[in-house]
Structure 1
Amino acid sequence: MATPETDISELSESQQVALQTYTSVTDQDVQAAIPLLQRSQWNVEIAIAKFFDGEGPDPVAEALAAQSNPPPQARRQENLQQSLLRGPSGRNSPNRPDAAPRIVPQSADQLVPRPSLILAILYKPFQLLYKLFSFPLNFLAYLFPFLPRLFRRDTTSGTVRRRVDTSGRKPLNPDDAELRVQREFTEEYGENELPWSNKGYAACLDQAKRDYGFLLVILLSPEHDETSSFCSEVLMNAEVIQFFRDPANRITLWVGDVRDSEAYQVSTALKCNKFPFTALICQTPEVSSTAMSVVARSTGPTNARTYLAELRPKLAARSETLETSRQAQVFQNAERNLRQEQESAYERSLAQDREKARLKREAEAAVAAAEKAKLQEELDAADLAAKKEQWRRWRASEINAEPGADEKDVVRIALKMPEAARIMRRFRASDSMMDLYDFVECYEYLQDSESSEKVPEKPEDYEHEYRFRLVSTLPRVVYEAELAATIGDKVGRNGNLIVEPIVEEDDEE
């Protein structure tokens, strides 16, 4: 059953901030991240730990189930030896590896910047006063060591761990802090070939989890006397460096200085109480499919041979399991890539089909538009021809009759028609050239003027266009259809004119 999607706008401002922080670290889908954050009471650190280490059983749900179904009371029979073997955690599987801590990296904007020069000058008197008053108190604490313990509140049942004094050490982000550790190590012990990661602990843990490899965590404390001998005799040993750099071991090396914030958090989470400290971390499928656990530890001073003897068996025992998981991951990636290629090919084929269908629709639309335009042209041409026919019949009824023989001021004109016919016609000298053109245009209808057909009216929205011109030869003179010019002024008393059709360029072609 599909889970309904949650509207992000319905979340509160603090919940949206927690969701943004969680997705920026885990890169998980938003709709899949919201239920996990809800189960974690919107605690970002708990949700990130569940995502990377696997989500175990819910203690609240188990407690409610235990209340509803109380187990039968049985007497507990256990001796001192069994209690010691069971350990303080009360688990029956002492060989179960401890979960590797997940440290949320501190963003750069949360780092406390150093004050400016002006503020440092202003704060300097207060620092001097603080040192002036703290010196007698520190001297009393040195003389009477029991006095600080009287005012100290012990909140732990085990050994009280002393926080490393980081005063005077500039806080940096995890990547820059790791580069500083590398630089300080090189300056102290010389050039080396250690495979430095140049990344923070969280990034190295994610890389080891992603590559199904090993993460070797080394925590150093410059305040301990054994640190110098461990670095110079163990870490600088050629056999140890070869073990770290062996590609078959797939080791990601991370070295931390407990004076840095991230390294101190890692040491606290790993319960480190003795330096130098080494932890080998890898995936443990028996705990969870995505759990990262500590499979080997090495604390205190040691030599190179003993150091490798502690790490090599644990690494060899886990290599086969990790190789199996790695091959399974490769197979899953190959299947996913193949599926993506198939989906991509299907999308390309679907896009090609859509493009073909679109081109076909466009071609059909173009053909339909051309047919429609052609039909419209035919309709317009037929309408124009009908209006022209109506205009010629109407104009034929409006042409004046030929003047009689007894009238004076008459012009005799011989017209050579296109059909090789010759017409003789008399016109009044006061008639316009437009009347002469109308006579030629409507000549065939003048022959049928005595018919009983009803004379049509003048067509509306029509402007007649003459498709011929009247010219005379020797010399050639073209007489235009002008309403203001009279026949007597243009032609004279007699005229011999030719009706010359106007041929357009398209018709000539």
Structure 2
Amino acid sequence: MATPATDISQLSESQQLALQTYTSVTAQDEQEAIRLLERSQWNVEIAIAKFFDGEGPDLVAEAQAAQNIPPPQARRQENLQQSLLRGTSPRNSSERPDAAPRIVPQPADQVIPRPSLLLAILFTPFQLLYKVFSLPLGFLSYLFPFLPRLFRQDTTSGTLRRRVDTNGRRQLPPDDAAQRVQREFTEEYGENELPWVSSGYATCLDKAKRDYSYLAVILLSPEHDETSTFCADVLLNPEVVQFFKDPTNKITLWVGDVRDSEAYQVATALKGSKFPFTALICHTPEVGSTAMSVIARVTGPMDARSYLAALRPKHAARAETLSVARTAAAAQNAERNFRQEQDSAYERSLAQDRERARVRKEAEAAAAAEEKAKLKAEQDAAEFAAKKEQWRRWRASQITPEPGSDVKDVVRIAIKMPEAARIMRRFRASDSMAELYDFVECFEFLNGDEEKAPEKPEGYEHVYAFRLVSTLPRVVYEAESGKTVGECVGRSGNLIVEPIAEDDEEEED
């Protein structure tokens, strides 16, 4: 019965964060990752360790299963022949394969050797004496910094000596060690077509687990007499090379020298005590959902036919299971990619909707601002027109009356208005041109019908929208010239009220 899928939205925030961290490291399916995290009490480090190293027996589940043990059945009777037949039946089908742990060797420069307890007790007094004498020496080195440089040895050669084993073989990182093994093998046995992998054991194990493929681990020890025969007659045999090279077999080949730290740890973990040693590793779902186990071990000297006969049946027995797992993983990856594409399409659509909403909002804001500006312009125009009319009414009440017949120093002016009306009026010669302009501007309000003249509007500066011009010759009389009517017009004159067009104002500007 299939396990019902868990809704991720129902997980807590800490559980969702743990799930995201775990899947980013392992790239496992979310439902399987949730079940593994539940078995690990939502501890990300424990879950990642179980994913790479395989899961051990669940003690809690075994204890719960022990409480539900059925009652013992009746004692079974069998004769000697039946016992012999049961003893000859194969037991490998019921035995679980050994786990293949993930080995990550510690760098050589970080290894701290620890002496045994007996040596630690013997050297304790010397250690105390060293600490007693090191204090004054340290004080002297602080006072005289040149003293330590005089007695200091070459640290570079000491570092190199610490990084070299007792057998004279320098320890390298996993990738460099794998390349060195390939180079030494080629120098010893010549060029070959083996599908070497220039990576560490942990990297190859992770790749085999991720791709649901096989990992063939070959450990060599040059100190054994059978190593040369195995490499020349078995490992370089065309059938063996073709078995490892065949892409349908999906085998990753990793070869290590037990004199290297990583290969020695791998030999210890895979229980390889006799060399040359070959282990075939693959995914074993019966042990755990993420377990990698050793399905075949081949040790000792043998011919190429026997070597392949020991590996091929184990390889073929797991081919179908791994093929199904690869198909399921491909389907899960396709589904995950499809969900990611859907999420990306949704995000793009959401971004487009947001962009359209932003553009629409900006357009609405611009239209509202334009409408507001238009309203304000209309209000300002109406207010300006009201102030202008108020100013004209106020100025009409301030216009000097026409001088009488007893006044001799007068100027008679005929003014042609824009409405084709002709006005005759007398002005004092001492009146300014501004007075004449104000008369023309406020002519329609000079009837004097208003009982009370309005006040002058505050903050208003009047601008004349016309000019007074004489025709023959054409002379323009400005209001701001500061001259009097007598100085400009003389004793009499004919003036035309000429409106100032916008084009003329632009030309003047």
TM-score interval, smaller chain: 0.7 to 0.9
2:155 is the alignment partner of 1:119: yes
2:464 is the alignment partner of 1:456: no
* CA contact 2:193–2:241 (8 Å) conserved in 1: yes
1:335 counterpart letter in structure 2: E
Q: Counterpart in 2 of 1:364? A: 364
Alpha-carbon distance between aligned partners in 1 of 2:166 and 2:25, rounded to the nearest angstrom: 27
TM alignment of 1:155-166, pairs within 5 A: none
Number of residue pairs the alignment of both structures matches: 447
Q: Counterpart in 1 of 2:13? A: 5
Q: Deviations over 1:347-389 (max 9, x none)?
A: 3333333333333333333333222222221111111111111
**Residues 308 and 56 (structure 1), Cα distance of their counterparts in 2 relative to 1, 3 Å cut:** same
Q: Counterpart in 1 of 2:471? A: 473
By how many angstroms is 1:342 displaced? 2.8
* CA contact 2:396–2:445 (8 Å) conserved in 1: yes
* CA contact 2:412–2:491 (8 Å) conserved in 1: yes
Alpha-carbon distance between aligned partners in 2 of 1:41 and 1:327, rounded to the nearest angstrom: 28
Q: Counterpart in 2 of 1:182? A: 182
Alpha-carbon distance between aligned partners in 1 of 2:341 and 2:43, rounded to the nearest angstrom: 38
Q: Deviations over 1:249-282 (max 9, x none)?
A: 0010001111222111111100111011000001
By how many angstroms is 1:507 displaced? 11
Q: Counterpart in 2 of 1:395? A: 395
* CA contact 1:166–1:260 (8 Å) conserved in 2: no
Alpha-carbon distance between aligned partners in 2 of 1:6 and 1:173, rounded to the nearest angstrom: 37
TM alignment of 1:94-243, pairs within 5 A: 95-104=95-104, 106=106, 110=110, 118-120=154-156, 167-243=167-243
**Residues 105 and 496 (structure 1), Cα distance of their counterparts in 2 relative to 1, 3 Å cut:** farther
2:465 counterpart letter in structure 1: R
2:311 is the alignment partner of 1:275: no
Alpha-carbon distance between aligned partners in 2 of 1:52 and 1:233, rounded to the nearest angstrom: 35
By how many angstroms is 1:306 displaced? 0.9
**Residues 356 and 3 (structure 1), Cα distance of their counterparts in 2 relative to 1, 3 Å cut:** closer
**Residues 117 and 433 (structure 1), Cα distance of their counterparts in 2 relative to 1, 3 Å cut:** farther
Alignment partner of 1:487 out of 485, 488, 494 = 485
Alpha-carbon distance between aligned partners in 2 of 1:7 and 1:331, rounded to the nearest angstrom: 25
By how many angstroms is 1:248 displaced? 0.7
* CA contact 2:100–2:294 (8 Å) conserved in 1: yes
2:432 counterpart letter in structure 1: S
By how many angstroms is 1:110 displaced? 4.8
Partner of 1:192, secondary structure, is coil
By how many angstroms is 1:319 displaced? 0.7
By how many angstroms is 1:227 displaced? 1.1
By how many angstroms is 1:293 displaced? 0.8
By how many angstroms is 1:307 displaced? 0.7
Q: Counterpart in 2 of 1:290? A: 290
* CA contact 1:227–1:276 (8 Å) conserved in 2: yes
Q: Deviations over 1:271-304 (max 9, x none)?
A: 1110110000011122222211110110111111
* CA contact 2:215–2:252 (8 Å) conserved in 1: yes
1:500 counterpart letter in structure 2: E
**Residues 340 and 440 (structure 1), Cα distance of their counterparts in 2 relative to 1, 3 Å cut:** same
2:405 counterpart letter in structure 1: A
By how many angstroms is 1:397 displaced? 0.2
* CA contact 1:99–1:291 (8 Å) conserved in 2: yes
2:504 is the alignment partner of 1:496: no
Alpha-carbon distance between aligned partners in 2 of 1:329 and 1:26, rounded to the nearest angstrom: 13
1:405 counterpart letter in structure 2: S
**Residues 96 and 64 (structure 1), Cα distance of their counterparts in 2 relative to 1, 3 Å cut:** closer
* CA contact 1:283–1:291 (8 Å) conserved in 2: yes
| Overall identity of the aligned pairs, in % | 70
Q: Deviations over 1:301-348 (max 9, x none)?
A: 111111111111111111111111111222222222223333333333
Q: Counterpart in 2 of 1:264? A: 264
**Residues 108 and 347 (structure 1), Cα distance of their counterparts in 2 relative to 1, 3 Å cut:** farther
TM-score if structure 1 supplies the norm length? 0.76
Q: Deviations over 1:377-415 (max 9, x none)?
A: 111111111111100000000111111222132222221
Q: Deviations over 1:54-106 (max 9, x none)?
A: 4344436756997x9999999x99xxxx9xx99xxxx9975321111111354
2:352 counterpart letter in structure 1: Q
* CA contact 2:99–2:293 (8 Å) conserved in 1: yes
Alpha-carbon distance between aligned partners in 2 of 1:43 and 1:7, rounded to the nearest angstrom: 10
Partner of 2:479, secondary structure, is coil
Q: Deviations over 1:430-479 (max 9, x none)?
A: 22211111111001111x21x14321111111111110111122322211
By how many angstroms is 1:6 displaced? 4.0
366-375 vs 376-385, greater mean Cα deviation? 366-375
Partner of 1:294, secondary structure, is strand
1:5 counterpart letter in structure 2: E
2:337 is the alignment partner of 1:301: no
Alpha-carbon distance between aligned partners in 2 of 1:291 and 1:123, rounded to the nearest angstrom: 39
Q: Which runs of 5+ in 1 are unaligned?
A: 9-15, 128-163
Q: CA RMSD in A?
A: 4.1
Alpha-carbon distance between aligned partners in 1 of 2:388 and 2:249, rounded to the nearest angstrom: 100
* CA contact 1:106–1:173 (8 Å) conserved in 2: no
288-297 vs 388-397, greater mean Cα deviation? 288-297
Q: Counterpart in 2 of 1:505? A: 503
**Residues 118 and 188 (structure 1), Cα distance of their counterparts in 2 relative to 1, 3 Å cut:** same
Partner of 1:482, secondary structure, is helix
**Residues 42 and 264 (structure 1), Cα distance of their counterparts in 2 relative to 1, 3 Å cut:** farther
**Residues 353 and 119 (structure 1), Cα distance of their counterparts in 2 relative to 1, 3 Å cut:** closer
1:443 counterpart letter in structure 2: F
